[in-house]
């Protein structure tokens, strides 16, 4: 037996001793030093064989070693990538509507949860899409939890929530429980509904919004130019909606957090404008959306705030590539205001818009919300009847143009909008109601407030005290006039935000367009966010929730008829393969 064969036989003893040592160590409780000795002997024998055979000098050994090192390097790199992926979670959503990414409003809401909030899904099966959405919420905060429950396995829990059918989703916060929606195969869990319910449970207070009527404003529902989607958006955000006709009820109710004037086509009466001024003077909040080529006669109100309505029409040439007319403005520049600070360079759309001009006024702070692109992309056109719109240096105004502005004015003497002890108008010595041109209460023909049977201003049918010279309620300590509430569109007995509080400032938002909130445009890009954030800011609620709201996923399903489906089937099975065979045969025949 030669020396090489002897070393090969001895080498097999090395793996044998190593295996024996490991076996003894793993199977015996009190193995002592024996298994360690066997392992050491086996390792020594393997080392001697490697030195004697000069194994590392062979070309095959070098190739195998290089392959082993490369394999180990790849495994190490993959391990590091997985480690970094787990440690630093980075998700990239390439869908055009960011379908798998929470909206900024949802992230802000969940990140600031005061206490643990839990979602209960009463369903037998877990849907991947729903679970992915809930996981996205959970990633924002550990205080957000969710659990799937089979009602048949836990009937007591289902009975506690009042579950009646599979697919019901409930939200639980503190001692409150609320139904979010009922999910099914056709309707998955909605981020919009879940975020709205979260907001309502965290902040159960509501705010009252009045829409001014009587001047051909946009209808609230049911016809062309309606703003029903905007109304529903406010209701989802826990606002209570009512209408207000100042010709019938000549004062703004005390519970009004916001008054909205949405695209009036006819002029307001002088008394109505004065009533809105008085409302602002006592700490009210007003949203004006005024279209071009209309004159609602509110210049006196706007002048107090330093706002002027330009009668020209805003023109934007950048929309031509998107097949939009020059009078449709695409806004991508926003002011750093709570209403628009999170909008970045996203788009909002405004067809037929008038510019606004802002003048400085003492005590009024203003900030631009919407701005057009600089000239020559945009300008204000004075000749709207011309067939070809061109900039005229003498008559037109160069961009950038202001299309929306937010203003605030501090009150010199903060007044209680809903004071528990209002100054009685029926007192023996009535408080003088000071206006620039006050109507004397003791005038020859006033409605007698001090008569033995005075007309109650708080009666269901109050007698209007707005004579041709309307009385201004703009005193340092104004008289609280608690008119009855107009018919409420959405009044589920909410907790009103207008408890006895003191207003410290009044707010005004003005847009040179109202069409952007109509049903046909409300869900376009950021239009709905501009409107809802404006109302939320005016209501002086929590400004942390002023952000981009969740969007509904687009329905991209192709709906085809039976005939179209048959044509597609025949094309895929017969026409396309036959076409391929024919082309192949022709190429073969030509080469032959």
Helix%, strand%, coil% for the chain, nearest 5: 35, 20, 50
Cis peptide before 376 (omega within 30 of 0): yes
Question: What is the DSSP secondary structure assignment for residue 488, as one 8-state letter?
Answer: B
Cα 17–chain centre separation: 70
Strands (E), 475-562: 495-496, 502-511
Mean pLDDT by 10 residues, the chain (592 residues): 65 83 77 82 81 66 79 89 77 66 84 90 88 89 92 90 90 88 86 86 86 94 88 89 90 93 94 94 95 93 95 83 79 92 88 93 93 90 80 87 95 56 38 38 37 37 38 38 41 42 82 94 90 92 65 63 86 91 91 82
- What DSSP assignment string belongs to 215-266? SSPPPSSSSTT--HHHHHHHHHTTEEEEEE-TTTS-S--TT-SEEEEE--SS
pLDDT score, position 425: 35
Please classify residue 559 by burial: count the beta carbons closer than 10 Å to its beta carbon, then call 0-12 exposed, 13-18 middle and 19+ buried: exposed
Question: 560 phi and psi, to 5 degrees?
Answer: -125, 160
Q: Checking DSSP bridges between strand 502-511 and strand 402-416, what pairing results, if any?
A: antiparallel
End-to-end CA distance of the chain: 68
The pTM of the full predicted model, rounded to 2 decimals, is 0.63
Please classify residue 487 by burial: count the beta carbons closer than 10 Å to its beta carbon, then call 0-12 exposed, 13-18 middle and 19+ buried: exposed
- The dihedral built from the CA positions of residue 358, 360, 366 and 367, taken in this order, carries a sign that is positive
Question: What is the DSSP secondary structure assignment for residue 421, as one 8-state letter?
Answer: S
Question: What is the DSSP secondary structure assignment for residue 574, as one 8-state letter?
Answer: I
Q: How many CB atoms lie within 10 A of CB 367?
A: 16
- The dihedral built from the CA positions of residue 54, 57, 63 and 67, taken in this order, carries a sign that is positive
Please identify which residue in the block is written with the tokens 């005390």. Answer: 254
Partners of residue 173 on adjacent β-strands: 117, 176
pLDDT score, position 476: 37
């Amino acid at each position: 037996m030669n020396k090489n064969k002897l070393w090969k036989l001895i080498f097999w003893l090395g793996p044998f001793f190593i295996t024996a040592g490991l076996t003894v160590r793993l199977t015996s409780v009190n193995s002592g030093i024996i298994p360690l000795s066997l392992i050491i002997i086996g390792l020594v024998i393997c080392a001697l064989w490697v030195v004697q055979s000069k194994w590392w000098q062979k070309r095959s050994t070098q190739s195998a070693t290089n392959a082993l090192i490369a394999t180990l390097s790849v495994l190490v790199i993959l391990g590091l990538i997985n480690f970094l992926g787990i440690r630093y979670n980075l998700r990239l959503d390439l869908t055009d509507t960011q379908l798998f990414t929470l909206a900024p409003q949802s992230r802000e809401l969940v990140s600031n949860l005061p206490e643990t909030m839990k979602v209960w899904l009463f369903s037998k099966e877990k849907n991947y899409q729903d679970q992915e959405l809930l996981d996205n919420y959970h990633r924002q905060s550990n205080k957000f939890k969710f659990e799937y429950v089979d009602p048949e396995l836990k009937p007591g829990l289902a009975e506690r929530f009042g579950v009646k059918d599979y697919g019901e989703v409930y939200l639980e916060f503190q001692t409150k429980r609320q139904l979010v929606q009922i999910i099914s195969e056709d309707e998955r869990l909605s981020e919009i509904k879940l975020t709205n319910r979260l907001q309502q449970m965290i902040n159960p207070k509501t705010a009252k919004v009045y829409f001014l009527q009587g001047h051909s404003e946009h209808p609230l529902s049911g016809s062309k130019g309606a703003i029903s989607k905007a109304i529903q958006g406010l209701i989802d955000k826990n606002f209570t909606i009512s209408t207000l006709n100042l010709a019938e009820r000549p004062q703004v109710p005390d519970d009004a957090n916001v008054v909205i004037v949405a695209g009036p086509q006819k002029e307001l009466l002088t008394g109505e404008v004065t009533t809105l001024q008085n409302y602002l003077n006592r700490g009210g909040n007003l949203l004006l959306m005024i279209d071009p080529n209309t004159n609602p006669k509110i210049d006196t109100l706007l002048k107090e705030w330093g706002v002027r309505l330009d009668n020209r029409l805003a023109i934007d040439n950048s929309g031509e590539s998107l097949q939009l007319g020059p009078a449709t403005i695409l806004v991508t520049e926003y002011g750093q205001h709570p209403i628009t600070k999170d909008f970045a360079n996203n788009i909002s759309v405004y067809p037929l818009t008038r510019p606004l001009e802002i003048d400085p006024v003492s005590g009024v702070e203003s900030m631009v919300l919407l701005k057009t692109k600089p000239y020559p992309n945009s300008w204000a056109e004075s000749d709207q009847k011309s067939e070809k719109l061109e900039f005229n240096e003498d008559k037109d105004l160069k961009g950038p143009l202001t299309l929306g502005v937010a203003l605030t004015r501090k009150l010199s003497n903060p007044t209680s909008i809903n004071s528990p002890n209002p100054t009685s108008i029926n007192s023996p010595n009535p408080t003088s109601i000071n206006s620039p041109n006050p109507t004397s209460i003791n005038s020859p023909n006033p409605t007698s407030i001090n008569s033995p049977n005075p007309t109650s201003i708080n009666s269901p049918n109050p007698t209007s005290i707005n004579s041709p010279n309307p009385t201004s309620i703009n005193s340092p300590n104004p008289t609280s006039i608690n008119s009855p509430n107009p018919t409420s569109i959405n009044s589920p007995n909410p907790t009103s935000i207008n408890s006895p509080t003191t207003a410290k400032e009044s707010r005004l938002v003005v847009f040179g367009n109202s069409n952007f909130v109509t049903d046909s445009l409300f869900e376009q890009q950021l239009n709905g966010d501009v409107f809802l954030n404006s109302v939320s800011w005016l209501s002086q609620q929590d400004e942390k929730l002023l952000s981009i709201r969740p969007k509904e996923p687009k329905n991209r399903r192709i709906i085809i008829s039976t005939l179209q489906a048959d044509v597609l089937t025949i094309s895929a099975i017969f026409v396309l393969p036959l076409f391929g065979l024919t082309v192949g045969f022709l190429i073969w025949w030509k080469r032959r």
